[in-house]
Structure 1
Amino acid sequence: MDFDRLVEEMRSLSIAAGEKIMEIYQSPDFDVRSKSDDSPVTAADEAADRILFAGLTAAFPDTPVVTEEQASTHTQQVTTFLIVDPLDGTKEFIKRRGDFTVNIAYVVDGVPIRGIVYAPAKGRMFYTTATGETVEEHGPFDAGAVGQQTPLRVSDPDNAALLVVASKSHRDQATDDYINRYRVADMKSAGSSLKFCLVAAGEADLYPRLGRTMEWDTAAGHAVLSGAGGKVVRFDNHQPLLYGKPGFENPFFIATSPDVVLEKA
């Protein structure tokens, strides 16, 4: 894989998808439908998916692409592939809360090694560079010109006063019970894959997810966090979270700065 080209394509395609998403987001109204699993889908999900899938398959024809919005891609058995969530945080999009993202990741041997998370309504873009380090680019965003970048690094946490981030739409009692086992100085909520990015930027130390997620929900954020020195581990045994699993479904997991002392499941 040509990583310079990969990062260039991921960045430009994310910007194009984000522009289409914001066009629909800012319209007076948009249709919301339910998929077979009862999760919501909008015209923005589908329009962004068309942009990303067409662009990635054209640029990297020999690399399999898995995308949330195309069930036909979910039956692939792959360990090295591109994986896309064209609009992560559809519930946040529908509620017009802004915490939604465009996500692309490149997975090699089950490990997300490059990725981008773009939050067009928030004006935040996080991605791994060609050499694997994570940066936040500052807008306005132009597909033809890279803006100012800030290198990101996870926090040096104080285990007696942790900063925790949790899901805005999927918070439950099990998550609260787990968080309460830590000494927490501050607690914040965020939607979509932005939670990984807050840990990558040192704005949070710990993000536990005790709920159902799919690999397209997490791979890009996982890559961004890894490039900033963080890690994502399974909740049950604290082993690395791997990708290319049957059905692309994740177990519960914890995204964290590596110096957080994790509580046992």
Structure 2
Amino acid sequence: MDPPYARERLIAELAVQRAALLTKKVLKEIDKGTISKNDKSPVTIADFAAQALLICAIHHNFPDDKFVGEEAADTLREDVELRKRIWDLVSGKYLDDRETDALLSTPVSSEEMLNIIDLGCGPGGRKGRIWMLDPVDGTAAFMRGHQYAVSLALVEDGYEAVGVVGCPNLKLENGRIYEDRVDREGYGMMISAVRGQGAFMRRISSGGLEAARKIERPVDVADVKDLHWVEGTASSSNDIDKQWKLAKSLGIAWPGTDLYSSQMRYIALAVGGGNINVTIPKKKDKISWVWDHAGGHLILKESGGLVTDLNGKEFDFGAGRYLGENYGRIVAPMSVRKEIMATVVQFLGK
């Protein structure tokens, strides 16, 4: 008998693989069709097209499930030329294996594509099955050809059940991830997890799924000074100066691994390329969108990582479209977690 969520995991992995291949195709184009959203963050044709493919595949297989996605189709309804470019991408072929491709689905028209994208405008919540997705996490890094992620997660009754993160540029070097050292010959790596079943990594291919290997985290670090920090120094909403001072007070080299994408930071922590992250928002009411965390968060936990908010609370994915019940983040091995937490409490009190 198949383990729980076996079909959900399979369809999610195939959907992410197909969307990742689409983003790699866009990477080869000089003009990525970039526009700016109301919050000034960039969005490309890859964001819209990948969201359409992800939701279409899941909706085809699980028609009663709901969605929370980053993008909405309003701009595309007004911009005919942009809509055409995205439709050309969405209607293309990406998986070489016919049997595999048949498990998914593609919109039959540009109008259906817009409606599918808008399925991602759901409110989220604590009841039922909700797929949370970020079609291109780290769009600014994507535009530079650096590390970015395609993430998809199933949240059931407020708890993550399945998480899949495609990392189309991921090229591990001695277990570490570097922002600008990318896989230019292949399609990167995919990491996935099911609650209670561990986390696994495989290469992204243009056909069926490649064989996967289980992620085995290294032994806990005994000395705080031996920890490797994972940071996102480009963040404008986090208190980077305070995070640097915290690392300095602990004697940890900073920034360590520096990645723009939030999902890629989870992956770096999961695969063993880093083992500590402390994220301190500048404002207490800072909004942290669920799609920046869902999927990567589960993968980190299933790989053996320990992650909570700064108050020691588990992340609440049932609060809506953002993590309204949580403040910041701390990831640290059990062996030194008490020491890290005590220092964080001191810093937060300053």
TM-score by length of 2: 0.69
* Higher-Rg member (1/2): 2
Q: Partner residue of 1:160?
A: 225
> For structure 1, which segment, 67-76 or 237-246, has the greater mean C-alpha deviation from structure 2 after superposition?
67-76
Q: Which residue of 2 aligns with 1:108?
A: 156
1:143 Cα deviation from its structure 2 partner: 4.6
Calculate the aligned-residue CA RMSD, in Å: 2.3
Q: Deviation per CA, 1:197-253: give whole Å up to 9, x if none.
A: 121122211122224531101111101011111132111x11111112244245311
Letter matched to residue 189 of structure 1? D
User: What is the CA–CA distance in structure 2 between the aligned matches of 1:140 and 1:38, rounded to whole Å?
Assistant: 31
- Give the conservation status (yes or no) of the 8 Å contact 1:3–1:131: no
Q: 1:86 aligns with which of 100, 119, 135?
A: 135
What's the offset of the Cα at 1:185? 4.8
Distance 1:241 1:200 in 2: 17
DSSP-derived class of the 1:28 partner: coil
- Equivalent-residue separation in structure 1 for 2:291 and 2:193 (angstroms): 17
More strand by share: 1
Tell me what 2:103 maps to: none
Q: Which residue of 235, 248, 252 maps to 1:180?
A: 248
Whole-angstrom distance in 2 between the partners of 1:168 and 1:94: 18
State yes or no: 1:3 paired with 2:72: no
Q: CA deviation at 1:40?
A: 1.1
| More off after superposition, 149-158 vs 221-230 | 149-158
Give matches, 1:1-265, under 5 Å: 3-70=5-72, 73-79=121-127, 80-97=129-146, 99-122=147-170, 123-129=188-194, 132-137=197-202, 139-153=203-217, 155-158=219-222, 159-170=224-235, 172-185=240-253, 187-192=256-261, 193-211=263-281, 212-235=287-310, 237-249=311-323, 251-261=327-337, 262-263=340-341, 264=345, 265=348
- Cα deviation, residue 17, structure 1: 0.3
DSSP-derived class of the 2:258 partner:
strand
CA distance in 1 between counterparts of 2:158 and 2:335 reads: 24
The change in CA–CA distance for 1:140 and 1:109 in structure 2 (over 3 A counts) is closer
C-alpha displacement of 1:257: 3.2
For residue 293 of structure 2, give the secondary structure of its aligned residue in structure 1.
helix
SS at match of 1:248: coil
The 8 Å contact of residues 155 and 257 in structure 1, kept in 2 or not, is answered as no
- Aligned to 2:304, the other structure's residue is in SS state coil
In structure 2, C-alpha distance between the alignment counterparts of 1:227 and 1:59, rounded to whole Å: 25
CA 1:154 to 1:199, structure 2 compared with 1: closer, same or farther past 3 Å?
Answer: farther
Q: CA deviation at 1:256?
A: 3.4
**Deviation for aligned residue 1:104:** 0.7
| Partner amino acid, structure 2, of 1:175 | Q
Q: Distance in 2 between matches of 1:17 and 1:156?
A: 35
1:145 alignment partner, SS class: coil
CA distance in 2, matches of 1:18, 1:117: 10
- SS of aligned partner of 2:250: coil
1:60-93 CA-to-partner distances (Å, cap 9, x unmatched) read: 1222111111376243434542110111000101
How many residue pairs were aligned? Answer: 262
Q: Could you say what secondary structure the match of 1:65 adopts?
A: strand
CA contact (8 A) 2:161 2:194 kept: no
Name the CA distance, whole Å, in 1 between partners of 2:208 and 2:229. 36
Note closer, same or farther for the CA distance 1:131–1:59 as it changes in structure 2 (3 Å cut): farther
**Alpha-carbon displacement from aligned partner over 1:151-210 (angstroms, at most 9, x marks no partner):** 332651232321110015217213222333323156221232111112112221112222
Distance 1:181 1:102, change over 3 A: same
User: Given that residues 162 and 182 in structure 1 are in contact (C-alpha distance below 8 angstroms), is that contact kept between their aligned partners in structure 2?
Assistant: no
